[in-house]
Amino acid sequence: MKPFTQHQGLVAAMDRANVDTDQIIPKQFLKRIERTGFGEFLFWDWARLDDGTPDPEFELNHPAVQGASVLLARRNFGCGSSREHAPWSLEDYGFRVIVAPTFADIFYNNCFKNSMLPIRLPEAVVDDLFSRSAQHEGYELTVDLEAHTLSDAHGFTATFEVDPHRRHCLLNGLNDIGLTLQHEAKITAFEATQN
């Protein structure tokens, strides 16, 4: 996994609550057996008109947010299915950071396994970020995971919380399985107590 330490990037705002994983990556793309290449299918049903061409009204199709790597979202982002194809598609599309008031648990977990940082901030702060991104053309945010800060070039700074172990893994690009297997003797001992 590639490490995540700092990131500065263009913000795309998605002003909808309860964005579910069926929208992020519709089921017709879950049949693939690879882990890569899902980016082009991101938000497929929302991003395309009936004839398959891009819908110019869709948030992520606006010319001003092309190349965005920070997604600003509303509460309960990523609810629904456990499909890791959702973070795979967001990551493959180019997102490294998602900011929202709340995330669905499984999706939140899945992001960390894919070098993506989901940041939870109070609703009022997220409201402020939505106004800022509407105000400033080409609005960017900067994340410093080491310092737990999110900031912009116009005086905004917020600190965020993230579980210390997950932070450590992201900062160092560590894979969970390797870490867990450092405790293999304990797993074996545990198994010996089971009938």
Partner 1 sequence: MTSQPRTLFEKIWDQHVVHAEEGRQAILYIDLHLVHEVTSAQAFEGLRLEGRQVRRPERTVATADHNVPTSDRSLPILDPISKQQIDTLRTNCQEFGVTHYDLNDPRQGIVHVIGPELGYTQPGMTIVCGDSHTSTHGAFGALAFGIGTSEVEHVLATQTLLQDKPKTLELRVDGLLGSGVTAKDLILYLIGQITTEGGSGYAVEYTGETIRALSMENRMTVCNMSIEGGARAGMIAPDETTYDYLRGRQFAPSDYQSAVEAWRQLPTDDGAKYDKSLSFAASEIAPQVTWGTNPGLVTSVDDTVPKPDDFADATERRTAADALTYMGLRGGEAITDLKLDRVFIGSCTNARIEDLRAAAAVAKGRQVSSHVSAMVVPGSGLVKQQAEEEGLDRVFTEAGFDWREAGCSMCLAMNPDKLAPGERCASTSNRNFEGRQGKGGRTHLVSPAMAAAAAIEGRFVDIREWE
Query: 3-state class of 153 per DSSP?
Result: coil
Q: By C-beta, is 56 or 164 nearer to partner 1?
A: 164
160: helix, strand or coil: coil
Q: How does strand 140-144 pair with strand 6-13? A: antiparallel
Our CB check for partner 1 shows the closer of 138 and 146 to be 146
**CA proximity to 78, closest of 99, 55, 49:** 99
174 binds partner 1 (CB under 8 A): no
Number of residues lying near partner 1 (CB under 8 A): 50
Encoded one letter per residue, x for contact with partner 1 by CB under 8 A and - for no contact, window 32-61 reads xxxx---------x----x-----------
Give the nearest distance from C-beta 142 to partner 1 in angstroms: 26
Q: Does 22 bind partner 1 (CB under 8 A)?
A: yes
How far is the C-alpha of 61 from the C-alpha of 100, rounded, in Å?
A: 20
Other CB atoms within 10 A of residue 120 CB = 18
**Residue 180 binds partner 1 (CB under 8 A):** yes
What backbone torsions phi and psi does residue 10 show, to the nearest 5 degrees? -65, 140
| The residue to which tokens 């867990």 are assigned | 180
Nearer to partner 1, 82 or 172 (CB): 82
Could you say which of 10, 30, 162, 171 contacts partner 1 (CB under 8 A)?
Answer: 30
Looking at 8, 61, 114, 149, which residue binds partner 1 (CB under 8 A)? 114
Q: Report the run of H or E that residue 99 belongs to, with start and end.
A: strand 97-100
* Biggest CA-to-CA distance, the chain: 63
Distances (CA, A) of 57 to 15, 52, 157: 13, 14, 31
Q: Closest CB to partner 1 among 40 and 176? A: 176
Query: Which residues in this chain contact partner 1 in the complex, by CB under 8 A?
Result: 15-18, 20, 22-23, 26-28, 30-35, 45, 50, 74-76, 79-84, 87, 102, 104-106, 109-110, 113-114, 163-166, 176-177, 180-181, 183-184, 186-187, 190-191
